[in-house]
A and B are shown apart, each in its own frame.
Chain A
Amino acid sequence: MQTRELVAALAAVVPAQRILFEEQDIAPYECDGLTMYKTKPQVVVLPETREEVCHVLRTCKDLVVPVVARGAGTGLSGGALPHAEGVLLVMTKFNRILDVDADARTARVEPGVRNLAISEAVSHLNLYYAPDPSSQIACSIGGNIAENSGGVHCLKYGLTVHNVLSLTVALDDGSIITVGSDALDSAGYDLLALTIGSEGLLAVVLEITVRLLPKPEEMRVVMAAFDDVTKAGDSVGGIIAAGIIPAGLEMMDGPAVAAVEDFVKAGYPLDAEALLLCEVDGTREEVAEELSRVESILKDSGATMLRVATTEEDRLLFWKGRKSAFPAVGRISPDYYCMDGTIPRKHLSLVLRRMREMSERYGLRCANVFHAGDGNLHPLILFDANDPDEVKRAEEFGAEILELSVEVGGTITGEHGVGIEKINEMCVQFSSDELTQFHSIKAAFDPTGILNPGKAVPTLQRCAEFGKMHIHHGRMPHPELERF
């Protein structure tokens, strides 16, 4: 398809100034938060109305042109990586909060609204939107739907799928449907759950109704240092065995603590092998009761240092350290590669030990940030993108971590999505029959395959090739992609 023809067809409904195709205009869209992969789209469209979105979809279906929807572009798996022969549908102009129902505790929002903006808009009602990915200041709720994003509070408050009541979406043919409702369940199959986390392969989100929660009366966080990661891991099991579900339960290893403390000065002890942040929330009485139990469990587990944030400033500072872990690591290394495996928590020390071995073998440093409550690991592999060999080693190191996650009974992605990044590892986690089932589901929604093709679910051919490479040439994913 010639760019000129495609642009002309799109311009029948979308105003020309919101269709970009000149090199300098489309360059800012060549990647999302996973900057290792870059592709320039053929055309970028910035729709402002539903009619424009539906026109783009109908046009692209007619012309069999790929459509990749993009929110704020903060995704870490390359889910919004453009297609070189496709349209990048940038949803940022859908940025209105349409309605807040204080009595029902719901908000109707457009997909380009930032995650944190929802909580800010309802704060005066003493409400908030619970899922809080670390990128919440920038990431869009539409992107959260695509990835089923989590955050540091999801052990207690759930993922995106647990906090969304309904979605209005545009299908591949430009028709619009609503899945879910304001009721707590819906008739027919649970298309809402199916759509959430489908990485833009099934539909384009136009509107979202989210559930809001009353702000807890009180939140207290305790910081505990350990001289051994196993002890820290055991303390997490101890807290849960005691019947306590903390609002947040986060762990960092020594290298992550050092990077963060240098950056944020959160008062983290630099000699710790592992640092745990445990937050409890609820009514004043509940918090006081749970906090004292958590403190005694942490002491019994061998914490070398224990500090409870006594002021709200302290509490926010403790969290700021954790939430700044990625940029902090970014300061000590030219580049970092963030992984996202989830493991059964009992295997934590085994997995950390194996990762240290890998770190030595690949000659790359690794800092670990860990949603300890739910087993979601974020190893950050430090490398230099200007060194092609380091890039290759970083990717191989990452792939080996994901395969280890599957080996111990976990998954290759807890909250960042498969995107383009983990597509080969999908061949490790799922059988051919399971992948084929995914493709059938995709075809049920999008028989032409125009929505975000090549992401999330690998073709069987790709797995076969990956398997061969796996054996004969080590692990070099995506040989067809251009490298730096």
Chain B
Amino acid sequence: MSHVAAIVARCQALFEDLNFTAAREWKEAAPGRIVVGFMPFYVPRELIHAAGGLALGVLGGGDQLEVIQGDAYYQSYICRIPRSTIELGVTSRLDFVDAMLFPSICDVIRNLSGMWKIMFPKVKSRYVDVPQNFSDAVGGSFYVSELGELRDILARLAGREITDDALRNSIAVYNENRALVREVYAFRARFPWKAPSAEVYLLMRAGMVLPVEEHSAMLRDYLDATAREERPRRDNSRVVVTGAFCEQPPLSLIKSIELAGCYIVDDDFMLVNRWEKSDVAADGDPLAALSHAYLHDSLETAAKYQPDQSKKGQWLIEAVQRSGAEGVIFASASFCDPALLERPMLQRALAARGIPYIAFKFAENSGQMQPIREQAGTFADSIKLWSAA
């Protein structure tokens, strides 16, 4: 087994382990450790880290989890991630998690925060509100206060004070991790055949369950190993995949897109890994630094308001340009309000620039890849035809 293959195999094993054994073992390895689960798209993981905790990304159950009880809580017109997340909860797969954080992404996840309080009263459940007003004095001051509340909650849970120094240290640790994540993305955009999307996806997923330091080491290792490995380059088109920032597509879908002739050169699968676009200030007031980064230096997604109409969708055009993509694939979870309501506006922005796109929907447990392969394949072919014309 090559070194790359070994890294990927480790990631794959972590990805498939719906009992989160690695995180459980981490928690048991030393007394006083806490594990804090969080859902997409973003939480300030630095606070958890500074409390001596592990930030555990809970991204649903994927296509290998049979949802038996979770379905009893949702109507047929609601997406799948909350069902499988409840299934993980009621089947005790998350019984080692001390707290669950539910970000402000949509009404379904928002309501799940309250459901969790009722269903799992021993777990500290917290809705993480983020400002939609981007002035420091208004939205910023609200967010600093929210961060402060969360800091107190985590400190109580961990039984230790979260000092500013500890927070600054955690910010630095995550800055390093984010830099490596950005590097992986940049590497893939340049050499997509050397960093297939399924591999990059699994690497990023590993960051959801591993301690950040271990994840950083893994990313470094992977970059190093894959750069040295020769792999065949295919005549694929280059696409940005967007709309899958919450419920995750099955791995087979990501593979299908690439097999059908599209290199994925950017995506929004796990925004939390690179939410802040550059380093967060690791000196001064750490909460103010986190807030400042959120307000002024973070990615965009459907859950975040864009106050400036002229900038709507600009980030996607920039992503296309930065990654050298030739088209965009909108892959959204069925019944995903943010992604699906956002989509027409993004499509308009792309159309204005002449950037081609296609759109389809998935569920985390979609079983049929044939339509995906067909659509992605046709898209890849037509991109080539257009660029040849």
Partners in one complex: no
